[in-house]
Amino acid sequence: MGADFVYASSYVRSQERKLLSGEQFRNMTESKNIDDICKILQDAGYGSEGNALTAANYQDVLKQAEASFFAEVKELSKSSKALDIFCYPADYHNLKVLLKSEALGVDRDELLMESGTVSTGDMSKSVRERDTMLLTENMIRALDEAVAVHARSNDPQMIDFVCDKYCFADIGEAAAKSKNDFVEGYVALWIDTINLKTFARVKKMGQPWKYFENVFISGGSVDMQVFLDSYDEDFKQAADRFLPYDIAKAVNDGGEAIDTGGNFTMLEKICDNLLVEYSRGAKTVTFGLEPLVAYLIARQNEIKAIRIVLAGKLAKMSPDLIRERLRETYE
How far is residue 17's CA from residue 161's CA, in Å, rounded to a whole number?
A: 37
Same domain assignment for residues 63 and 3: yes
Tens-of-pLDDT digits for all 331 residues of the chain? 555 788 888 999 999 999 999 999 999 999 989 999 999 999 898 988 788 899 999 999 998 898 888 888 888 887 678 889 999 999 999 999 999 999 989 999 889 988 899 999 999 999 999 999 999 999 999 999 999 999 998 888 889 989 999 999 999 999 999 999 999 999 999 999 999 999 998 888 888 888 899 889 999 999 999 999 999 998 888 999 999 999 999 999 998 899 888 888 999 999 999 999 999 999 888 888 899 999 999 999 999 999 999 999 999 999 999 998 999 898 7
- Confidence at residue 79, expressed as pLDDT on a 0 to 100 scale: 64
> In sequence order, which ranges of the chain are alpha helices (DSSP H)?
6-16, 22-30, 34-43, 58-76, 88-104, 120-129, 137-153, 156-178, 181-205, 209-215, 224-229, 235-238, 248-249, 255-261, 265-279, 289-314, 319-325
State the CB neighbour count (10 A cutoff) for residue 14.
Answer: 8
Closest CA to 86 of 183, 195, 189: 183
Same domain assignment for residues 163 and 250: no
Looking at residue 52, the DSSP 8-state letter turns out to be B
Q: What is the CATH number of the domain that holds 213?
A: 1.20.1690
Which backbone phi and psi does 52 adopt, to 5 degrees?
-65, 140
- Confidence at residue 3, expressed as pLDDT on a 0 to 100 scale: 58
Same domain assignment for residues 57 and 47: yes
Same domain assignment for residues 193 and 275: yes
- Contacts of residue 323, defined as CB under 8 A and 6 or more positions apart, other chains included, come to 26, 29
Same domain assignment for residues 169 and 90: yes
Q: Which of 156, 179, 202 is the last residue of a domain?
A: 179
- Confidence at residue 122, expressed as pLDDT on a 0 to 100 scale: 95
How far is residue 307's CA from residue 181's CA, in Å, rounded to a whole number?
A: 31
Same domain assignment for residues 163 and 225: no
Same domain assignment for residues 168 and 154: yes
Q: Which of 154, 179, 204 is the last residue of a domain?
A: 179
Q: What is the CATH number of the domain that holds 299?
A: 1.10.132
pTM tops 0.85, yes or no? yes
Same domain assignment for residues 71 and 137: no
CB hemisphere CA count around 25 (13 angstroms): 26
Q: Number of folded domains in the chain?
A: 3
**What's at 268, amino acid-wise?**
E
State the CB neighbour count (10 A cutoff) for residue 114.
Answer: 15
Same domain assignment for residues 145 and 134: yes
Which backbone phi and psi does 65 adopt, to 5 degrees?
-65, -45
Closest CA to 30 of 312, 272, 331: 312
Q: What range does the domain containing 123 cover?
A: 82-179
Same domain assignment for residues 74 and 89: no
Same domain assignment for residues 296 and 273: no
